[in-house]
Structure 1
Amino acid sequence: MPGKADLEDLYAATAQAAALLNITCSREKMWPALTAFQDVITDPIVFNTVTSRGRVGGLSFDFGTAPDAGDPYARALAHGLADETDHSIRSLFSDIQARFSLMAFGVDYEITRGFNKAYAFFPLSDLKSLAELADIPSMPHGLSEQIPTFIEFGLDDKVSAVAIDYTRRTWNVYFNGLSAEHVERKAVVAMLREFGLPEPSEHLLDFAQTSAGLYPTLGWDSSKIERISFSTRSTDPQALPARIEPKLGTFAANAPYAYEGDRILVYAAALSSSEEYYKLASYYRMNSAAHLRVRSVS
């Protein structure tokens, strides 16, 4: 359980990370989240940023919570960090936890906009099948409609997490433990075409072949794949694909971290109907479970 001094350390590290991207980190925005989750914050703690159309799009402070802490959205509601809704988005995580054991929950808190996204992580030894998830009453119907395509590309039983973006009313299903065959060039091109996404650049295809995980994004009330992201772990701050915003390189080389060894980074490349863009996560704190998880989810 983080104490007051520990929260001060977390705030200071977040402010340091934000300064690398010329983003303002205010106590007014951060402290409500830190105190709301103070007694349940667990490692890993991650700083996460996105570049889109040549610009850095913000910085998120991400952290884990233990399964017995319950749905992070409920805590966010209780502390005034989110608004109540009667939409089925409200019940998905509680329905998932009622059926399956979870390794952890996770929270994505955007430091200038607030509570943004939450994750439910399955144990790496017990990845879920698409059929198991589709059987959950509150699961968006788009999953069932896309199952044949996911199976066609060998992704049926490789689900390691589900995430909900409450702000945008979108959700993700994370596939991990991918082999070289899953991300082979022709397979990636065929998959993207099947999902109705545009032809990727050579840079994105090169990057995808290094990936061990991928995650599509769907709208809550649609089966359309809005975008797909490929992710890979690295300790190399120079591993960013070409033509990326220089601030990301600076961030990758200098983001604060509090564990031994090299800084752990996770890069992701995303393709939507309108653009390609890149994401970068830098792990600030780790634990043994996080070292395993970072191989599979970002």
Structure 2
Amino acid sequence: MTESVDVETVYTAIEEAAALLGVTPSPDTVRSVLKAFEPFEGGIIFSASAGEGHAGDLDLTVQVPEAIADPYAHALACGLVPRTDHPVSTLLADLRERCRVDEYLIDFAVIGGFNKIYVHFPRDPQSVEALAAVPSMPRALADNAALFARHGLDRVAMLAIDYTDRTVNPYFTFPAGLSADTVTGIVRDLGLPDPDEELARSARKTFRAYPTLGWDSPRIERIGFARALDLPVVRSRVEPEIVRFVTGTPYTYDGERFSISIVKWSPEGQWFNVGSYYRFGPLQREVLGRIQR
């Protein structure tokens, strides 16, 4: 098991990573989330978005300790999310009844606060059909099943529930990557401009693709393709502070820093997200070890 670290150690690393972006964390916001989800037994990932309208904060993804069996109930009890009658509030409970969950992670912004819970089940990937049958799942998943099947998006290894935006991301897994034609075809089917050749080639090494779905419309709001960091492609397309961030964040393991780059498309345009691993959890090492680099 990964050795645990304390709140102040993590907070110091957050300040260092945030400084690379020119972001000043809210101490009360950050410490309230960290204290709610300590001890830190596994993975911690820093991430940031590039481009006008997307930048300006630092996100953290943190593995939930095993002692917290229901992270949504825990977040409610800690005052991190408001109570609501919206189906987003029951989705985690419905998933827990139907999936063998390997681990949970949370996501929060150092200014904006708590926003997501990730339900990770890579050892028992779920089909679109099975997930669409979950009672509180957005109908948009079933409505887009034919599109997903047409492009071979059929194995979901993780689901992200965004309690702030009230959206869901199914993370389709591709241990062997995708073809450039598949990437282009998916983006085109969503009615978005074709990616340029360089981006389509880079996205061939995608290990997870994730659309964004909501409860109010069948429309896929956006889609992202995640791969090991492709710095030559990213460097020329993002702000200098994003490159400084993804190549300079602190990390705690031996060897080189592991980072990812994510290209996202939506009707509003294209942008990038980048992430760097501060710590690995055992399952994350297992999953990333299977990625085709």
- In the superposition, the TM-score normalised over structure 2's length comes to 0.91
The match for 2:243 among 240, 246, 249 is 249
RMSD: 2.4
Relative to structure 2, which stretch is displaced further, 87-96 or 27-36? 27-36
Q: Secondary structure at the match of 1:191?
A: helix
- Matches of 1:67 and 1:91, distance apart in 2: 21
Structure-2 residue corresponding to 1:6: 6
Contact 1:212-1:295 at 8 Å conserved across structures: no
| Structure 2 residue identity aligned to 1:47 | F
1:292 counterpart (259, 278, 286): 286
Given the alignment, which residue of 255, 261, 270 partners 1:261? 255
CA contact (8 A) 2:23 2:56 kept: no
Aligned to 2:36: 36
Structure 1: segments with no counterpart, 5+ residues: none
Q: Tell me if 1:126 matches 2:124.
A: yes
Residues 1:164 and 2:157 aligned together:
no
Higher strand share: 1
Instruction: Measure, in 1, the Cα distance between the counterparts of 2:3 and 2:207.
Output: 36
Q: Which whole-Å CA distance do the structure 1 matches of 2:235 and 2:90 have between them?
A: 38
> In the alignment, what sits opposite 2:19?
19
Report the CA distance between 1:26 and its aligned residue. Answer: 3.1
Structure 2 distance, partners of 1:147, 1:94, is 23
Deviations 1:81-103 (A, max 9, x none): 11110101001111111111111
Matched residues in 1 for 2:67 and 2:217: separation?
Answer: 31
1:184-243 residue CA offsets vs partner (Å, 9 max, x unmatched): 222222222222223223343232122122111112222111111111024x75562532
Range moving further from structure 2, 64-73 or 90-99? 64-73
Provide the residue aligned with 1:149 in structure 2.
Answer: 147
Unaligned runs of 5+ in 2: none
- CA contact 2:115–2:163 (8 Å) conserved in 1: yes
TM-score by length of 1: 0.90
Q: How many residue pairs get matched?
A: 291
Distance 1:109 1:128 in 2: 26
Q: Contact (CA 8 Å) 2:173, 2:207: kept in 1 or not?
A: yes
Preserved contact between residue 199 and residue 233 of structure 2 (Cα < 8 Å): no
Distance apart, 1:14 and its partner CA: 0.4
Per the alignment, in what secondary structure is the counterpart of residue 252 of structure 1? helix
Tell me, in whole angstroms, the C-alpha distance in 2 between the residues paired with 1:11 and 1:106: 18
1:121-147 deviation digits (Å, cap 9, x = unpaired) = 00x332111111111111111111111
1:283 aligns with 2:277: yes
1:152–1:178 CA distance, 2 compared to 1 (3 A): farther
2-structure distance, mates of 1:186, 1:4 = 43
